[in-house]
Amino acid sequence: MLVRADRVGFARLIAYARDPDNTDQRALACILSHRCNCPDTPYRQALGLDEAELRAVLAEYFPVLAADWPDGGCLRHRLGLACHHEAPPPGHGRFSASLLEQEEQDLCRLFLTHAADSGIWPVVFARSIARACMEPQHLWMSLGLEGRAQLSAILVRHFPALVARNDHDMRWKKFFYKLLCDEEKVWTCKASSCEICPHHSECYVTSPPGNAPAVVPPEG
């Protein structure tokens, strides 16, 4: 569920959308209204899109908002919201920028290798999701989405081959990093299988019996 400030930003942003009922434009509106695009913003709050890319996305899907867009302008300020760079998160700067950039590039490559097509949507979502993976929250929360189901729907639409590989419903962020570790042949878990690993609940979404909602542990 969107927090109050994000609901306000989303409503203002979706009012400018070329097609307010389009599923991808609504998901992008959640992300754009939640995350900050200032050049000097803390890394973890960034959109993952550079100035030219953001300008192109706004011109394509939110054309009224894109009109007279200032260089280095903050989208959240344009929506009447506080800019995240005004309150750097605790622990910012723990890792070197070069290490984080390499990690982000590896994640982007993973997504785009599994993209359903070569259009703009896979690129926009790959960049945003990869950047949000740097944060400790649920991935859907870091993106400003309404829930894990909305994140899963984005992945199904644009990265179906990647989704197909997650056949045991591992949490998305854990799953992405597991694939990267598999590529590099880096394995740290000593359990003979995931099912008996003591950290199983941290990696997988558990589905309780009956109609109770699934329990989703932190970070994913």
In this predicted structure, what is the pLDDT of residue 208? 44
In this predicted structure, what is the pLDDT of residue 106? 93
Reduced to 3 states, what is the DSSP secondary structure of residue 170? strand
Give the contacts of 27 (CB within 8 A, at least 6 positions apart).
Answer: 125, 145, 150, 153, 154
Average pLDDT per consecutive 10 residues, the chain (220 residues; last block may be shorter): 72 93 96 84 76 88 84 80 66 58 90 93 95 88 92 97 92 92 64 44 52 42
In this predicted structure, what is the pLDDT of residue 38? 77
Q: How many helices (H) and strands (E) does the chain have?
A: 12, 0
Going through the chain in order, the beta strands assigned E by DSSP cover: none
Give the burial class of 24: count Cβ atoms within 10 A of its Cβ; 0-12 exposed, 13-18 middle, 19 or more buried.
middle
Cα 81–Cα 88–Cα 1 angle in degrees, nearest 5: 50
In this predicted structure, what is the pLDDT of residue 128? 94
In this predicted structure, what is the pLDDT of residue 154? 97
pTM of the model: 0.80
The structure tokens 């695009």 sit at 37
Q: State which amino acid sits at residue 106.
A: D
Cβ atoms within 10 Å of 133's Cβ, excluding its own? 21
In this predicted structure, what is the pLDDT of residue 136? 81
